[in-house]
Amino acid sequence: MQDQTDQLLRRILTDVLGLKDGLAENFTPDTGLFGHLPELDSMAVAGLLTEMEDRLDIVIEDDDIDGEMLETYGGLLAFAEAKRSGS
C-alpha cells in the first residue's frame, strides 16, 4: 500500500505539473512543492488535492491542510499514507 501510494502520488504530480514521464521518479522527500514551484498556486493545489481524493480514495478536510504537508514531497506523501491507512 505504501509503495502504491508513492507511485500514485508521483503520477498525480506528473499530471498536474505536466512533467515528462519519469521525471517525478527523481522526487525525494525534500523536493519542494507549494511555495517552491511557481506554477503550484492555490488553484493548482486545490486541483491537486481534489485529484488525490479521487485517485487515492480519501477525503481531505479543510482542517487537514497545513503548510507543512504541502511544502515537500515527503510531507505530502506522509499525509496521503496516513489518510489511506484511515488515520
Partner 1 sequence: MTPLGWPNPLPGGASAEEYAIAFDRGRERRLLIVPALFDEANRMRRFSLEVMRRLDASGIDSVLPDLPGTNESLEQLETQSIGSWCSAVAAAVQFFGATHVLAIRGGCLLMPQGVPGWLYAPAKGGSILRQMLRARSLASREAGREESREGLTTLALTDGIELAGYRIGPQLFVDLEHAEAPEREGLTLVEQGLVGGAGLWLRAEPGESREQADALAAVLAIGMQS
Residues that bind partner 1 (CB under 8 A): 14-18, 37, 39-51, 62, 65, 67
With b for 16 or more beta-carbon neighbours within 10 A and e for fewer, the 47-79 pattern comes to: ebbebbeeebebebeeeeeeeebbbbbebbbeb
C-alpha cell recorded at residue 79: 499525509
Contact 10, 51 (CB under 8 A): no
Residue with smaller CB distance to partner 1, 33 or 85: 33
Smallest distance, partner 1 to C-beta of residue 59, A: 11
Residue with smaller CB distance to partner 1, 2 or 54: 54
Residue with smaller CB distance to partner 1, 7 or 85: 7
C-alpha cell recorded at residue 75: 510531507
Smallest distance, partner 1 to C-beta of residue 75, A: 15
Smallest distance, partner 1 to C-beta of residue 12, A: 8
